[in-house]
Amino acid sequence: MSLSGGYNSPVSEEDGISIIKHAFNKGITFFDTADKYGPYTNEILLGKIGEMKKLVEEGKIKYIGLSEASPDTIRRAHAVHPITAVQLEWSLWTRDIENEIVPLCRELGIGIVPYSPLGRGFFGGKAVVESVPPDSFLVCFSSMFVRINFLPRFTGENLDRNRSIYFRIENLAKKYKCTSAQLALAWVLEQGDDVVPIPGTTKIKNLEDNIGSLTVKLTNEDLKEISDAVPTEEVAGGRYPDSFDKTSWNFANTPPKDS
């Protein structure tokens, strides 16, 4: 999504294809896209590596996944046709799915696809050691009618308070001999074999950094230490502003068929 302007201005088609090919050549074989990304342009960009047509012809695209679905919706959908994966936000500072969604997916044998596993770049230093462009999705939402401060965690006093969380993870990363982004991503990866995070990037160096997280191995004691460094009650601001919060899984019950 980030390649097509999900968070900042879209990269050029040449750069986008280069990043996708670089990831593929490094052994990355799972790419997340949707017609909403762009909109419409991201699927076209991904299709230009030529693999999508091949997979369709081979009949290999046949699985169903859900995104930001409520527990009720997941159960009802799975009863109609097995759901392969559920995509939800999961990172060190967004852990609300752990109490209900994660156990449900494991009960039903559904894979979990965490998006924004780096806290929308926060644990890579975005808005802390790296500036955020003024037109970034992280700090504003604009249309011809309205412009609002968008993600509460990245604006005003919330950001000032959240910076201390980043520096805690940065200090821990020194202990584990990795970057803060690698530690945060490794934490998500170590949540289970059924967890496949989808970090996004527009830079080769960040892609390499993300891939490097695969070499960071954490014990249960390590996971607890890292989790304890980011108490969710200390995170300032919600995932989305109030006007957008009702698009999250907490409010995503699908209406009954006869409604």
Active site members: 37
Q: Output the 3-class SS for the chain.
A: CHHHCCCCCCCCHHHHHHHHHHHHHCCCCCCCCCCCCCCCHHHHHHHCCCHHHHHHHCCCCCCCEEECCCHHHHHHHHHHCCCCEEEEECECCECCCCCCHHHHHHHHCCEEEEECCCCCCHHHCECCCECCCCCCCCCCEECCCCEECCCHHHCHHHHHHHHHHHHHHHHHHHHCCCCHHHHHHHHHHCCCCCECCECCCCCHHHHHHHHHHHHCCCCHHHHHHHHHCCCHHHCCCCCCCHHHHCCCHHHCCCCCCCC
